[in-house]
Structure 1
Amino acid sequence: MINIFTVLNYTEERQVNFAVFQFEGLARAWWNVIRAKWERERTTWTWANFIREFNEKYLPPIVQEKREDDFIRLRQGALSISEYETQFTKLSKFGPELVATEQRRVRQFVQGLNVEIQEALAVAQINTFTEVLEKVQRIEIARVQDVTVVQDAH
């Protein structure tokens, strides 16, 4: 939704209206209660306020903590670099302090990589997440090619 809002240059209030327009059933009933509360308390219709209310209802602290733990424990394992990066990015919003700076984001990402890839990165100069992603993708491609060459030799 955020991408849609950006492209269409939606105001904060319009962003909220667009999101709640899609609600049905229990979600619509929940929103009616929140809307009445906002009107009573004169709460500004911002996306941040909406997300706060939404998360309080549909993403309670115990779920958020579980997702943060999932992020902290995330390891590449059998995932491809692309699959690992997708999971990393998806879960990173649950541990924002762990990726608050580019340096911390890179460190967290690298710590979850398989050891052999971490070792291959040890001598690399990495300053941005984009750089680390490019380097690990190159390492992955090289390793796949090495395996293919070895298999073809047999």
Structure 2
Amino acid sequence: MPRGRGRGRGRGRGRGRRGWGRPRRREVGRGVAVGGPPQERSETGPVTVTPPPVLPPVELPPQAPLQAEPPPPVEPPPQPTLPLQVSPEAAPLMGGVDANTRLMCDSIQALIQTLVTNQQASLQQAQEQAQAHAQAQATAQANALVNPPQPVRCSNWIRDFKRYDPRPFTGSLVDPIEAQMWIVVVETTFETMECPENQKVACATFVLQKDAEIWWRDNKTLLNREGGPMNWKRFKEAFLKEYYPKSERLKKQQEFAHLVQGGLTVEKYNREFNRLKRFAPSMVDTEEKMTEKCVLGLVPRIRRMLEAFNPKTYEEALRTSKALEKPKDEKQREEPVIIGQKRPHESGGSDRPPPAHRHRSNNRPAPRWDERRPP
């Protein structure tokens, strides 16, 4: 049996199994401390342990507050670059130029070529359109010469015009003022029915009768030849020239210029004033002129009282004149006088005494001239 591996009791025997893996215990008395560094052994007394020196506290300088640093800027990721291509035509001309410049020049050249091509195409298209338009106009003019346009049918407008029952005009009236009144009535009807301008002549001439119809048929061709197509303005001028001559217009203007109230009432004077004022429009074209003309035509008694009120408008002057007029005078003027009818004082209804008789009291007839001669 080899030495040191059995269960022997001697020193050095059997330690392999019991004390394997454990640290040795240091004896204090022999100068070895358990679990600490080795200490010096004193021969005269027990071993004393010296405590470590106490160091003074170290004061740290104050530190500045921490600040958050801004994040570093984020750089965009690099874009992939396409490989540059240079046309072979531009390569020999741009020998000392880099690829980017060559590519830019090629792009500009291609853009210029595209613009030039588009401009040429636009000019060509405009020329074609102009030629087509000119050809269409020439064709329309040729067709108009060969086949003149037919007149627009106006039967519907004439039918609407007849619904308003227009007064026919015969042209055989004694008073020329009726022609002017007929024009006024027809124009009022046109405004009511909203008749278009190119249908007014057809509607108005439809109600011409007798002498007026003959005049229109005889002068229609002549009027169309002189001034082109007939319109309402030219028809009205020719109509008034025929049936309301200038001499009659001047006569009515003079009649309005010398118009006074005289024996008329204010109401009748107003009616005559409104009837004649349209023949002299220059005399009443403003409110001031019309008011002045109305006041000057009143009787002196009403005119003097009216001047104290100083009316500003024609309506105000008319209203004040009616208020200043005496009712008794108005009643006497309104009362008609009939030939052969007795007056009120002759029928016994008046308090006035009868007139004195000129014959003798015995009701004997007056002697003749030959009876008075002496015998």
SS in 1 for 2:308: coil
Q: Distance in 2 between matches of 1:15 and 1:117?
A: 47
How far did residue 139 of structure 1 move? 2.1
Aligned to 2:211: 26
Q: 1:39 to 1:99 in 2, by over 3 A?
A: same
Q: 1:10 to 1:76 in 2, by over 3 A?
A: farther
How far did residue 111 of structure 1 move? 1.1
Paired residue for 1:125, among 268, 289, 310? 310
How far did residue 93 of structure 1 move? 1.6
Q: Distance in 1 between matches of 2:216 and 2:210?
A: 10
Aligned to 1:73: 258
Q: 1:19 to 1:136 in 2, by over 3 A?
A: farther
SS in 1 for 2:260: coil
How far did residue 107 of structure 1 move? 0.9
Whether 2:327 is the aligned partner of 1:135: answer no
For residues 47-92 of structure 1, the C-alpha deviation after alignment (integer angstroms, 9 at most, x for no partner) is x433322221112222111111111111111112221111111111
Aligned to 1:49: 234
How far did residue 147 of structure 1 move? 8.1
SS in 1 for 2:309: coil
Aligned to 1:144: 327
- Any unmatched runs of 5+ in structure 2? 1-184, 332-350, 352-375
Aligned residues of 2:201 and 2:231 also touching (Cα < 8 A): yes
Q: 1:16 to 1:104 in 2, by over 3 A?
A: farther
Percent identical: 25
Query: What's the TM-score, normalizing by structure 2?
Result: 0.35
Larger radius of gyration: 2
Q: CA RMSD in A?
A: 2.5
How far did residue 10 of structure 1 move? 3.0
Looking at both structures, which has the greater relative contact order when contacts are Cα pairs under 8 Å and sequence separation is at least 6?
1
How far did residue 135 of structure 1 move? 1.8
Residue 115 of structure 1 aligns with an amino acid whose one-letter code is: P
For residues 82-113 of structure 1, the C-alpha deviation after alignment (integer angstroms, 9 at most, x for no partner) is 21111111111221111111111111111111
Q: How many residues align?
A: 146
Whether 2:292 is the aligned partner of 1:107: answer yes
How far did residue 15 of structure 1 move? 4.0
Higher helix share: 1
Structure 1, 66-75 or 116-125: larger mean CA deviation: 116-125
Residue 72 of structure 1 aligns with an amino acid whose one-letter code is: A
Q: Distance in 2 between matches of 1:14 and 1:8?
A: 12
- Any unmatched runs of 5+ in structure 1? 149-153
Residue 246 of structure 2 aligns with an amino acid whose one-letter code is: P
Whether 2:288 is the aligned partner of 1:116: answer no
Aligned to 2:245: 60
Q: Distance in 1 between matches of 2:267 and 2:199?
A: 34
Aligned residues of 2:265 and 2:330 also touching (Cα < 8 A): no
How far did residue 28 of structure 1 move? 0.7
Paired residue for 2:220, among 35, 59, 62? 35
Aligned to 1:97: 282
Q: Distance in 1 between matches of 2:215 and 2:197?
A: 20
Q: 1:78 to 1:29 in 2, by over 3 A?
A: same
Aligned residues of 2:261 and 2:269 also touching (Cα < 8 A): yes
